[in-house]
Copies of this chain bind each other. A is one copy, B any other.
Amino acid sequence: MPRPLSLHPDRLFPSDPAQRSIARRLYALVADLPIVSPHGHTDPAWFATDAPFGNAAELLLHPDHYVFRMLYSQGVSLDALGIGNPAADPRESWRLFAQHYHQFRGTPSRMWLDWVFAEAFGMDVQFGAETSDLYYDRITESLATDAFRPRALFDRYRIEVIATTESPLDDLAHHVAIRAANDSGEWGGRVITAYRPDPVVDPDYEGFRDNLVRLSELTGEDAFGYTGYLAAHRGRRAFFAEMGATSTDHGHPTAATADLSHAEAEALFARVTGDGVSAADAELFRAHMLTVMAGMSVDDGLVMQIHPGSFRNHNPWLFARYGRDKGADIPTATDYVHALRPLLARYGNDAGLTIIVFTLDETSYARELAPLAGHYPALRLGPAWWFHDSPEGMRRFRAQTTETAGFYNTVGFNDDTRAFLSIPARHDVARRIDCGFLAQLVAEHRLEEEEAAELAVDLAYNLAKAAYRL
């Protein structure tokens, strides 16, 4: 007999009765607020074409590196899971997943998936070996219905606005199509882009020079000259802003910034666009470009996001065989105090600029990021990110940043996901954890409940809209 599946209404609240009852009251104020998703990786093609999603494995297993990395760590073959292997039978891959589902106990993937199973698909028994086919069939059949097409889910999920992330080389055709659907009254969903220039900013990015060729073509600028290169950025940023972008995003290996003179930058640019780029030059160019991007944000008002500190593609065999984004990106210790100083010295006192910094290194929360954000007008703290987008991770974020940075130097929640089906689950976890954190403050008489009620709404909704200018 499979075990029943149900989502407890008090899940993720503290178990202390005083805290729990406060958390319930606070959560009631935010549970049904619309979703503002200012940073993520959903595919705009879904909303442009509104084509149905495929089968259960294609939707919930193959794209989710949180899920298959855990299975892989426990000895399950990626080939058998259908990763990079279209020949695998999706039902068999799904069965493998089901057999190993107990290995997700205590992880956020388990919570998000159970929410999708119960809320999106109406399952009432737990996922596992004996319910694998039941799940596979129910999900796959549901996906074939109109109610499970992307736009219908978007509306059902009450998403007020969602941002995707694109390269400057993207023509934004899907965003153009969505805008047309908006304008024609065909569909009202608000889907915006964000400017992610890593492919044309990072000399170590695959195809960097080819990317500059393409950038030149797209913009009509000579992107191999520093002046033309900067003009090309300005042009693409303006186009992205037309397509709704309110932000840029920068995923560098470190948080290093630099502020070179024009002549130094020009010479460096010549080197990094030439042959045999040195690691030091590549790092310096990325560092300098963060400061340049901040300057452009001062001009065009795009909010700047910095996502540093991931050692990408740590597993060379896996990278060679399966490519990027296969669960082998590992966080590293990340300095912010020295790294961000050149940028902050130049632009940090500008209260009209917003720079949102994220971290994978929690040691920086209380030591570096909260003191920096609690001082510089331009700086805000992004929410607990990636591996830390989890109940314990979010609690540590609040416990370690609030006393120095306050709540108002933070920016609400980001789901940062390509797992579209789970977006409401992710926002719900953040709302519950934040309400639980506030409830603790109230129960310990560190905050009045009326104030906590205002904060709960700010954290769930207002701060994201304000910080991202949505």
Whether B106 pairs with A446 at a CB distance below 8 angstroms is: yes
Q: Is residue A42 contacting chain B, with contact meaning CB distance below 8 A?
A: no
Answer whether residue A447 sits at the interface, using C-beta atoms and an 8 A cutoff.
Answer: yes
Question: At the interface, yes or no: A73 with Cβ under 8 Å from chain B?
Answer: yes
Cβ-defined contact, A349 with B403, below 8 A = no
Interface contact B402-A448, CB-CB below 8 Å:
no
Say which one of A116-124, A229-237, A240-248, A336-344 lies at the interface with B.
A336-344
A327 engages B375 (CB within 8 Å): yes
A407 within 8 A of B: yes
Residues of B within 8 A of A338 (CB): 311, 332
Residues of chain B within 8 A of A25, CB atoms compared:
none
Interface bits A267-295 vs B (CB < 8 Å: 1, else 0): 00000000000000000000000000000
In the bound complex, how far is the Cα of B18 from the Cα of A388, in angstroms? 27
Name the B residues within 8 Å of A10 (CB-CB). 444-445
Which candidate, A157-165, A180-188, A356-364, A418-426, is the interface stretch facing chain B? A356-364
The answer to the question of A377 belonging to the interface, with a C-beta cut-off of 8 Å to chain B, is yes
Q: How far is the CA of A406 from the CA of B405 in the complex (A)?
A: 31
The reply to whether A403 and B108 form a contact with Cβ atoms under 8 Å apart is yes
A72-B375 contact, Cβ under 8 Å, with A332-B338, A446-B111: yes
Of B11, B72, B344, B409, which contacts A446 at CB under 8 A? B11
A15 touching B376 by the CB < 8 A rule?
no
Confirm or deny: A451 has a beta carbon within 8 angstroms of a beta carbon on chain B.
Answer: yes
Residue of A69, A315, A317 contacting most chain B CB atoms (<10 Å): A315
Cβ A107 vs Cβ B391 within 8 A = no
Question: Contact between A451 and B406 (Cβ–Cβ < 8 Å)?
Answer: no
Please report the total number of A residues contacting B with Cβ < 8 Å.
92
A105/B455 in contact, CB under 8 A: yes
Nearest opposing residue in chain B for A9, CB measure: B445
Beta-carbon contact of B361 and A73 below 8 Å: no
Determine how close the nearest CB of chain B comes to the CB of A444; give it in whole angstroms.
Answer: 6
Contact assessment for B106 and A447 in the assembled complex, using a CB-CB cutoff below 8 Å: yes
Interchain CB contact under 8 A, A345 and B332: no
Given contacts A106-B407, A315-B344, A345-B316, contact A15 B19 (CB under 8 A): yes
Q: In the complex the two chains form, what is the Cα distance from A366 to B362 in whole Å?
A: 8
Residue A80 is within 8 A (CB to CB) of chain B in the complex: no
Q: Which of A64-122 contact B (CB under 8 A)?
A: 69-70, 72-75, 102-108, 111
Interchain CB contact (< 8 A) of A13 among B16, B379, B444: B444
Q: Scan residues 358-402 of chain A and give those whose CB is less than 8 A from a CB of chain B.
A: 360-363, 366-368, 370-377, 379, 387-388, 390-393, 399-400, 402
State the CA gap A79–B408 with chains docked (Å): 22
Q: Which of A328, A330, A337, A363 has the most CB of B within 10 A?
A: A330
Whether a CB of chain B sits under 8 angstroms from the CB of A333 is yes
Other than the given A12-B444, A327-B374, 7 more pairs (CB < 8 A) read: A11-B444, A70-B374, A73-B377, A103-B407, A315-B344, A315-B348, A361-B367
A selection of 17 A-B contacts at a CB cut-off of 8 Å is A3-B450, A14-B444, A15-B19, A69-B375, A73-B374, A73-B376, A73-B409, A75-B377, A105-B407, A107-B403, A314-B337, A314-B344, A315-B348, A333-B333, A362-B363, A367-B387, A390-B404
The 7 closest A-B pairs by CB, nearest first: A8-B445, A15-B443, A11-B445, A75-B351, A390-B403, A106-B402, A15-B18
